[in-house]
Amino acid sequence: MQIQSKLPDVGATIFTTMSKMALEYQAINLGQGFPDFNTDPALLGLVSEAMAKGLNQYPAMAGVLPLREVISQKIANIYKHQYDPDTEITITSGATQAIMASVLACVGAGDEVIVLEPCYDCYIPAIKLAGAKPISVPMRAPSDINSVYSVDWGLVNAAITKNTKLLIVNFPHNPTGAVITATDLDELEKIVHQHNIFLLADEVYEHIIFDGVQHISLSTRPALAARSFVISSFGKTTHTTGWKIGYCCAPKFMTAELRKVHQFMVFTVPSPFQHALAVYTADSNTYLTLPSFYQTKRDYLSNGLRNTRFKVLPSPGTFFLLADYSDISDQQEADFSIWLTKTHGVTVIPVSAFYQSSDAPASNHQLVRFCFAKQEATLDLAIERLAKV
Ligand code: PMP
Ligand code: GLN
């Protein structure tokens, strides 16, 4: 007997593969994106309190109401959009499940979904599982080491057909660190004005943005909010990637369909974490201090890399930065990343892994992604090893 695979091309993710290799070669893991420091003890205390209080049984399918209320209030404060906690906010098992549920809810056979490459690894499998067709539109690669990736809206517009149902965007952008601009939002508004399509905004790094710039959520524009699934994750915002608590905000008619999928994927997500995050997130300092916290780490790694042969590109957002290794090697990005782990004991992620055709020349710009969500001691050790490359 054989299973007819729904995802014949899928293996272990690049993050799993590189983390495994890092362990095997005892390399410093600046690959997979997760902090190597613990979360705030106050938050840990709130989880223990919730457990001790007996908040350990099934919470509401859409998530505990106090958490949905806090999220609604937060978005009203910073993005000036009012989501109804009852009908428009759903707590999910990380952003990953919010993305899967949104895609399954709104697209199917015959539909096309546009993604911008390089793109995060879970979008295309979700589209394929929904029976729809992923259409990859390349972002404009940086022209030199002082620039960042940007969206080529001409190419996006050219990719839209009568079958296009959904466009997925991700800002601040993994892996490139690019942030969204008002002009990008103008372009999106023009698109939704002309075409009847849904939007999915993966905004998991909304609070990790630097140099005084503010993230502009798709929810800040009523015309976009009216047709968007806006997704975020507490994993990034509270240094708890292993808790897998995220959420999806969307208009009532979209949320109703999302919840039909959500309730049969997971029904609901762990109660004590949700209660703890509700209390914790009510204090806006818990997320408003993240830009300066991570900017220090970005600058620390960037400065350290200046003493190596890597050339650092600007990183306006996320806890990643890209570096060009063309002074070191001619290898393709994947080969270079493996070589770096094995030979120099530092693990990174090839940017080409975020493209459907990862071996194609158009996917290889001699760039690798470093995660700087690490303690200074970890970054020091990595910099010391990289200086010898
Ligand atoms: N989207 C992006 C762009 C991410 O980088 C990640 C995880 N790093 C996710 C979604 C998934 O988030 P979660 O761990 O909450 O599922
Ligand atoms: N989002 C993380 C990254 O980009 C990885 C999460 C995962 O391993 N699935 O590194």
Domain boundaries, the chain: 14-39+288-386, 42-283
Q: How far is the CA of 338 from the centre of ligand 1 (A)?
A: 23
Q: Give residues (CB < 6 A) around ligand 2.
A: 13, 15, 32-33, 174
The candidate with the shortest Cα–Cα distance to 231, out of 256, 245, 248, is 248
Which residue ranges of the chain lie beneath pLDDT 70?
A: none
* Residue 264 contacts residue 52 (beta carbons within 8 Å): no
Atom number in ligand 2 closest to CA 175: 4
List the structure tokens of 132: 């729809």
Helix (H, G, I), strand (E, B) or coil at 214: coil
pLDDT at 128: 98
User: Do 14-39+288-386 and 42-283 show the same overall fold?
Assistant: no
Q: How far is the CA of 83 from the centre of ligand 1 (A)?
A: 22
The model carries a pTM of 0.98
> Does ligand 1 lie within 6 Å of residue 350's CB atom?
no
pLDDT at 238: 98
pLDDT at 68: 98
* Residue 118 contacts residue 124 (beta carbons within 8 Å): no
pLDDT at 221: 98
**What is the CATH class of 14-39+288-386?**
alpha beta
pLDDT at 92: 99
Residue nearest to ligand 2 atom 7, measured at CA: 15
Fold exhibited by the domain 42-283: Aspartate Aminotransferase; domain 2 (3.40.640)
Residue nearest to ligand 2 atom 1, measured at CA: 33
pLDDT at 72: 98
Cα-based angle 207, 210, 215 (whole degrees, multiple of 5):
45
**138 CB-contact burial (10 Å; exposed 0-12 / middle 13-18 / buried 19+):** middle
Residue 244, C-beta contacts closer than 8 angstroms, at least 6 positions apart = 93, 94, 96, 97, 235, 269
Atom number in ligand 1 closest to CA 97: 16
Distances (CA, A) of 374 to 204, 237, 386: 18, 14, 16
pLDDT at 295: 98
Q: How far is the CA of 326 from the centre of ligand 1 (A)?
A: 29
